[in-house]
Amino acid sequence: MTARPPYPGQLSLLQWRPKFVLALLLVVIISVCVSCRESVTANQVSTGSTQVGTGSTTLSWMPPTQNSDGSPLTDLAGYKIYFGNESGNYHTSIQIDNPGLALYVVENLTPNIYYFVLTAINSSGVESQFSNEVSKLVL
């Protein structure tokens, strides 16, 4: 007598076991890949209360110390400042390859309101999500 599944379409134990092992292996592989993904988090950015000169503004921020998954950030490589004249629309960017900086003067700005965000970048080139947005009227 051969073992049959109790219901039509139901797998027998011998049919079910290899599929279960394969599914379990796939879950382990996916979770390992997700946990090894590198990430960084940009902290808040602020504008200086005084202008350095006409057509410029000073941005400052707290350097991040953790990746977005909460692990220590040990390979911060720099930052990227994005800005534009419309909230959420950043048409210009500045790459900063010095992770030790936490203050930057953006110069040669024409009179207008500017909106700024910052990202952190690690040594693998992974860029964080945008920081909070700040705005500044430049005269």
pLDDT in tens, the chain (139 residues): 555 555 666 666 566 565 554 444 444 333 333 333 344 455 456 665 444 456 899 999 999 999 988 999 999 999 999 999 999 999 999 999 999 999 999 999 999 999 999 999 999 999 999 999 999 999 8
Q: Give the 3-state secondary structure of residue 119.
A: strand
Residues 75-112: b if buried by 16+ CB within 10 A, e if exposed: ebbbbbbbbbbeeeebeeeeebeebeeeebebeebeee
Which fold does the domain 45-138 belong to in CATH? Answer: Immunoglobulin-like (2.60.40)
Q: Which of 117, 110, 73 is nearest to 94 (CA)?
A: 117
Q: Note the pTM of the prediction, 2 decimals.
A: 0.67
Residue 51: how many other CB atoms lie within 10 Å: 17
* Element of type H or E holding 18: helix 13-36
Q: Which of 79, 73, 80 is nearest to 38 (CA)?
A: 73
